Amino acid sequence: MTTAEIDLQPGRESNIKTVFFLSLIWGLCSGFYNVILQPFLVDFVDSEFIFGVIITFSILAQLLPMILVGKISDRIGRKRVHMVGFFLYIPAMIIFALSGRISMATPAPPLSGQISMATLISGQISMATLLFLVVSALLLVNIGFGTMDPALMALVAESSQEKKRASAFSILGLGVYASALIGPIVIRLFAESVPMHYYFYGLIGGYTIYFLFQLFQLKESLSLSDFTTNFGKQFIQSSKAFVQIFVQFFISIAHFIAMPFLLFFRKSIEEKLTNQFLRNVEREMSLFGDIFKTKGVKYAIGYFIFDSFVYGLSLNIYNGAVKYVYAYTESHIATMQLVLSLSTIIFFIPLTKISDKFKRKEMLVMSQLAGSLFFTTNIIAHFTLPEYRLYVILIGYAGLGVSIAYWVPSILSILSDFDKKRRAEVYGMVTGIKSLGWLPTGIIAGFIIEMTIDTMGLLVPFLISMVLFPITLFLSMKFPEINDSRSMETDETIKNVEKEIQPN
């Protein structure tokens, strides 16, 4: 089955309203998840460096599906791939909840007296098992996000008019951050009385509702030869898509591993390319090269990698770090997330109307300027008295919220419009590659903090980020105007195509 970017479902326009409602559910769940995740993991890890290693591997689990699975969505549809990726969230929340319950049920070692060797070994095995479970759940979440995100972003881009695309992504972000306010408020009120793992039971229900709502309400944006409106058949198709994604993931890995071999021995095996595997590797290599030939992609990838590194040093393990260094509780972290969401919402509201009037690089520059406040205030916070430190940090979180509000519509518009015929593949490829900048920051920040915690606390990663920030700002100002290209489809073109694509 093959599809073309212009071969779109006529009824896809209703997706914007549906995705907005889904964003409300997603934001509600994320509001809880983002507050409790890192503090929850810290309870199982006694080293800032090891904690950073775990976060880094979780990012790697997200990166690989983004790079390798996006093209499946271009072939078999957006909705079913999104459903497959999102479905992994549900077992992950179940594992988190059970891990927390087992941890609370495990008796603590006696405070005095001798501890038997059997008891000591049993405790070590128990903690090792629990750590394995929570890391497995974290990997499931990141694999799920890496699988579903390119499909969802492509679906939103295809369900919106070109001239209103940035506004569509702004509306999506507004829904996420508006409902994300609830989680921090609830946790702030009940942090002392409700164990953290209880929230994962609520997330099981929330993510299940999301999954069912998208099954019944979300429209496929591509016109597919096997398209059906039957929900039962759609679910079966999505189940088959899970197998297709799993198989294609490992096939793609094999292709990428074989690419250097093909390049090195290309002349000697040109006549042997009748082999199906080698032909597929040749095709994958050609497609991969085509992505880098697309206008602006090389610059964007370099910019994103550097930007991810600068911000990742400060943000990657921040919630866990403040628990280590400042002894902040989930209540403090909930307050930070609350300020972040409020700030983002305040700026998202006007941007839903005016974001399409800005050039993309203008929004990137405004995002960077606002984001620099996060670095600055955390540096100041190091020298602030403990009783006032949180208020200084909250100012930085307000700036970070403004940065996100400008970043989301600009960056998603850019990434979803590089190549219309391979929208999800290129989005996933570029997004995955840019995550390479974020990938090592957990380990680096964790190592730095662990080495300097007694003298400098969290200060060093923020100093590094602040020193590198002017370069990021300069690169933002020089970002090519990719979206100004008239090679994109126009609204008139889509209208003409829709007249030809009428349901039988």
Average pLDDT by consecutive 10-residue portion of the chain (504 residues)?
Answer: 52 82 94 91 83 86 80 81 92 93 65 47 63 91 91 85 78 88 90 87 96 88 75 78 78 78 67 67 74 76 90 90 89 92 88 72 89 95 94 96 86 70 76 81 90 89 94 89 44 41 40
Q: Say if residues 77 and 141 touch (Cβ distance below 8 Å).
A: no
Q: Compute the distance between CA of residue 376 and CA of residue 465 in angstroms, rounded to an integer.
A: 10
Q: Say if residues 457 and 314 touch (Cβ distance below 8 Å).
A: no
Q: Compute the distance between CA of residue 191 and CA of residue 402 in angstroms, rounded to an integer.
A: 27
Enumerate the β-bridge partners of residue 222: 8
Spatial neighbors of 355 by CB under 8 A, at least 6 apart, are: 166, 167, 169, 170, 363, 409, 410
Closest alpha carbon to 458 in 338, 311, 324: 324
What sign has the CA pseudo-torsion 30, 440, 321, 380?
A: negative
Question: To 10 degrees, what angle do helices 89-105 and 196-217 make?
Answer: 160
The token pair that represents 295 in the structure block: 């206008």
All domains of the chain in start order, with CATH: 11-106+122-483 (1.20.1250.20)
Q: Compute the distance between CA of residue 304 and CA of residue 74 in angstroms, rounded to an integer.
A: 23
Closest alpha carbon to 176 in 29, 24, 35, 31: 24
- CA distances 418 to 154, 276, 283, Å, are 11, 29, 20
Distance of CA 211 to the CA centre of its chain: 18
The token pair that represents 464 in the structure block: 């590094």
Residue given tokens 């503090």 in the structure block: 39
CA torsion, points 164, 170, 174, 175, in degrees to nearest 10? 60
Spatial neighbors of 243 by CB under 8 A, at least 6 apart, are: none
Q: Would you give the DSSP letter of residue 265?
A: T
Q: Compute the distance between CA of residue 174 and CA of residue 179 in angstroms, rounded to an integer.
A: 9
Enumerate the β-bridge partners of residue 8: 222
Ramachandran region, residue 472 (left: φ > 0; alpha: ψ -120 to 50; beta: rest): alpha
Q: Compute the distance between CA of residue 314 and CA of residue 445 in angstroms, rounded to an integer.
A: 7
Q: Say if residues 372 and 399 touch (Cβ distance below 8 Å).
A: yes
Number of helices followed by number of strands (H, E) in the chain: 20, 0
Q: Compute the distance between CA of residue 229 and CA of residue 238 in angstroms, rounded to an integer.
A: 13
pLDDT of 486: 34
Q: Would you give the DSSP letter of residue 421?
A: T
Q: Compute the distance between CA of residue 13 and CA of residue 159 in angstroms, rounded to an integer.
A: 5
Q: Say if residues 446 and 48 touch (Cβ distance below 8 Å).
A: yes
pLDDT of 488: 39
CA torsion, points 203, 204, 207, 211, in degrees to nearest 10? -170
Closest alpha carbon to 60 in 149, 148, 145, 154: 145
The token pair that represents 5 in the structure block: 């970017």
Q: Compute the distance between CA of residue 213 and CA of residue 221 in angstroms, rounded to an integer.
A: 16
Q: Compute the distance between CA of residue 194 and CA of residue 198 in angstroms, rounded to an integer.
A: 7
Residue given tokens 């206008």 in the structure block: 295
pLDDT of 494: 36
Spatial neighbors of 322 by CB under 8 A, at least 6 apart, are: 328, 332, 333, 458
